Amino acid sequence: MMRDWLTVLLAATLLAGCAALQPPPVETPNLYVLEAKPLATAVRAKRDLVLEVAGPHAWPGFDTTQMIYVKRPYELDHFAANQWADTPSRMLAPLLVQALEQTGSFKAVVKAPGVIPADLRVDVELVRLQQNFAARPSRVELALRLQLADVRTKRVLAGITVDESENAPSDDPYGGVIAANAALQRVLQQVADFCVLESRSR
């Protein structure tokens, strides 16, 4: 009887020890995306040009799926349980192509590397995408740097930095996502206007 009792006690002790060794449950992060509505474009003359959109590159600190925020200058931090579904630079690529197609100003808009020979190429850099909590309410700051080049002559036609900010409706990650997409809408409009205007010199 005593032996059976000891066996049960030993088994219970071993099970408790195994449970204590189990890793803590990993919290599944909330995933968010960048999206854009159709641009409000004016009717423009269509030109016989193929525009290639190079895959955007991100500046140091922003080539990540982590959602970056700042509370003081020069220091980047990120949310633990919230992140982008992909890096913002990769999510930007199809949105840029879509926005430039919507202008109706080009024969075709292709994503690099494309099978169609391009006349023009736009290179894009993500300078920053961050939620700034040093301000109240917090605001999202989004900046892109662009260069439009003539592919045949390898000549840079023009360059611009587009910088937009949007107050977040709430001081939390989801509020930052809403603000990011609102700022992105204006950025895409400026990118489209820039490419259409500067391509006229080609």
- Report which residue type is found at 184: L
At residue 142, what is the residue type? L
Contacts of residue 172, defined as CB under 8 A and 6 or more positions apart, other chains included, come to: none
Taking only Cα atoms into account, the Rg of the chain, rounded to an integer number of angstroms, comes to 25
Instruction: Tell me if 183 sits within 8 A of 128, measured CB to CB.
Output: no
Please report, for the domain that includes residue 136, its CATH number: 3.40.50.10610
Q: Report phi then psi at 29, rounded to 5.
A: -70, 155
- Using DSSP's 3-state secondary structure scheme, residue 178 falls into helix
Given this model, what pLDDT does residue 114 score? 77
Strands 30-32 and 77-84: parallel
- Quick one: pLDDT at residue 119? 96
Domain that residue 186 falls in: 2-201
Structural domains in the chain (count): 1
pTM of structure: 0.83
Position 39 scores a pLDDT of 87
Predicted pLDDT at 195:
96
Tens digits of pLDDT across the chain (202 residues)? 555 554 544 445 555 555 445 555 557 889 999 999 998 766 567 889 999 999 899 999 999 999 999 999 999 999 999 999 999 999 999 999 999 999 999 999 999 887 889 999 999 999 999 999 998 999 999 999 999 999 999 999 999 999 999 999 999 999 999 999 999 999 999 999 999 999 987 6
* 185 CB-near residues (< 8 Å, 6+ apart): 36, 37
